[in-house]
Chains A and B, each alone.
Chain A
Amino acid sequence: MDSMTIIAVASILIAGLTISFGCLGPALAEGRAVATALTALAQQPDASATITRTLFVGLAMIESTAIYCFVVSMILIFANPFWNHVIALAAGK
């Protein structure tokens, strides 16, 4: 296998793995966060504004790790510097 094939295979594999792990962890964490928030809401309905606001802030923080994985996977597919370098070399030949 020449280097072009290795780069392509590695990028595609890792892009897929990145996005799948990046969706798995935050989804489980957000599920737990919402479940706990619902329990708290059921126990103290008066504090619903605070609980809801804190829940949304927490969900955004958890979501941001998923976004990091998404951005890395997009970079691997669309803006891959190694692939661009290898393509430029191949086009120059």
Chain B
Amino acid sequence: MRLSPDELVFWQAGAFKLNATIVYTWGLMLLLTAGSWWVTRRMSMGLTRSRWQNLLEIVVTGIEHQIAEIGLPEPRKYLGFLGSLFLFVAAASLCTVLPGYEPPTGSLSTTAALALCVLVAVPLYGIEDQGLRAYLASYMEPTFLMLPFNLISEVSRTLALAVRLFGNMMSGAMIIAILLTITPFVFPIVMTLLGQLTGMVQAYIFSVLAAVYIAAATRPRNNAPEPANGR
């Protein structure tokens, strides 16, 4: 039983293995980039636009609205990073309807890479917003005794992000594989539907958690109240 798409190797040259994870990741990147370029070739600035441009605008403004609701004051600054996270994980899950495809997020390598991106991005945005000294001082809040716990929480948050996404995607694929050997007629399709739902929820959760971590790293300067305060 194959645990992850890493084990399916298409081509090998010495130590470099072209496995299914790499192929499908690059395929997804090609799909998202080429699709967006194709749709925005001739963008119209007026009130009438093509339906695909309308779709992309809905997606972009929707993500921007969600980022603003989390409590980040300038959503445009973070839209590239957070939007790309959401779109990549969502597209990775949605393409499961294509035959022969396995989501690359079902491999711990991909999810660890995405979690590492968040681990690097949070201090970067925090330093850009508050300055290096103020950001480093925020690790000492509320007392300097909390410094090791804050550091550990950074690491464990990243680990949790990676394992959460990996576990959800891997379990979906594994349940479908097991059902295909037991009742191959209708139940795998039902489970694929459920897998789509959890894939979209996990994409949303991944990007929302990244947004919350960034908001926590940039919040103290704005002295903004808690996001639950009457938004």
Contacts and interface: CB of A to CB of B under 8 A. Distances in A.
A14 interface: no
B161 to A, nearest CB: 9
B205 A57 contact: yes
Contacts of B166: 71
Given A78-B1, A79-B3, A68 B208 contact: no
Given A64-B160, A64-B164, A71-B166, A78 B69 contact: no
A70 B202 contact: no
A67 B168 contact: yes
A49 B170 CA distance: 30
B163 A67 contact: yes
B47 to A, nearest CB: 27
The 7 closest A-B pairs by CB, nearest first: A67-B167, A60-B205, A64-B164, A71-B167, A67-B164, A57-B208, A78-B3
Interface of B: 1, 3, 66, 69, 160, 163-164, 166-168, 170-171, 174, 201-202, 204-205, 208-209, 212, 228, 231
29 contacts: A49-B69, A50-B69, A50-B231, A53-B66, A53-B69, A53-B208, A54-B228, A56-B201, A57-B205, A57-B208, A57-B209, A57-B212, A60-B205, A64-B160, A64-B163, A64-B164, A67-B163, A67-B164, A67-B167, A68-B163, A68-B167, A70-B167, A70-B171, A71-B163, A71-B166, A71-B170, A74-B170, A74-B174, A78-B1
Contacts of B168: 63, 67
Given A60-B202, A64-B163, A71-B167, 12 more contacts: A53-B208, A56-B201, A56-B204, A57-B205, A60-B209, A64-B160, A64-B164, A67-B163, A67-B168, A67-B171, A68-B167, A74-B174
A60 B201 CA distance: 8
Contacts of A64: 160, 163-164, 167
Contacts of B201: 56, 60
Contacts of A70: 167, 171
Contacts of B174: 74
A39 B26 CA distance: 45
Contacts of A50: 69, 228, 231
A81 B69 CA distance: 45
